[in-house]
Amino acid sequence: MIRRNLKKISKSEKIKKFISKYKVPKEYLSTNRKMVSRAVFVGLFIAFIPMPMQMLLVIAMMPFFKFNVPIGLAMCWISNPFTMAPMYYMEYMTGSFLLGNETLDVEMTIEWFSSHLDDIFVSLYTGTLFYAISVSSLGYWLVNHFWKSSVYRDKKLHPKKRKK
């Protein structure tokens, strides 16, 4: 279903006008399985990195990894002002567990983070690496799996349409 909707959107006249007006390379808006799964991977990976302006990093990845940029940008929105604090706390706790460090009593204030950044930095980014790799890999696999099963199901249910 998502695959069909993406195909319909990509054939929209408004999208075609936007592409021609701003001279956007079509490959960055392609909606095939590889481009979408790469976009999910890159977007989720960057979403778990505690840094400002994550969307700029997604844009900076364009020349190195060809992916559907709008989907990659949307995936990095998982870390928004409402989800950032729980995500980063979870990453810090996981990193502390993996490294065997004692955890500090965290206060959700800017002053606390600025004064304790040296103490939590290694644990936070260890947890970040763990979640960024595992969640983005899972997202990549899920997109591939569901896309392939959708194509298989369509071929099985509508064999006459496929012959045209």
pLDDT in tens, 42-57: 999 999 999 888 999 9
pLDDT at residue 1 is higher than 60: no
The pLDDT value recorded for residue 129 is 96
Q: Which tens digits make up the pLDDT trace of 91-128?
A: 999 999 999 998 888 887 778 888 888 888 999 999 99
pLDDT at residue 90 is higher than 80: yes
CA torsion sign for 125, 130, 133, 136 is negative
Single out the residue of 60, 69, 47, 37 nearest to residue 137, CA to CA. 37
The chain-wide mean pLDDT, for the chain, equals 85
Confidence grade of residue 11 (pLDDT, cut at 50, 70, 90): low
130, 98 Cβ separation under 8 angstroms: yes
143, 37 Cβ separation under 8 angstroms: yes
The pLDDT value recorded for residue 93 is 92
Tokens, residue 105: 């009593």
Confidence grade of residue 28 (pLDDT, cut at 50, 70, 90): confident
Strand locations in 1-152 (E): none
Residue 144 burial (C-beta neighbours within 10 Å; 0-12, 13-18, 19+): middle
Q: Taking the CB of residue 161, how many other CB atoms lie within 10 A of it?
A: 9
pLDDT at residue 3 is higher than 90: no
Q: How far apart are CA 94 and CA 75, in angstroms?
A: 22
Confidence grade of residue 62 (pLDDT, cut at 50, 70, 90): confident
- What is the rounded average pLDDT of the residues 8-32? 69
Q: Taking the CB of residue 104, how many other CB atoms lie within 10 A of it?
A: 13
Ramachandran class of 37: left when φ > 0, alpha when ψ lies in -120 to 50, beta otherwise:
alpha
Single out the residue of 44, 48, 31, 47 nearest to residue 138, CA to CA. 44
pLDDT at residue 157 is higher than 90: no
Q: How far apart are CA 137 and CA 108, in angstroms?
A: 30
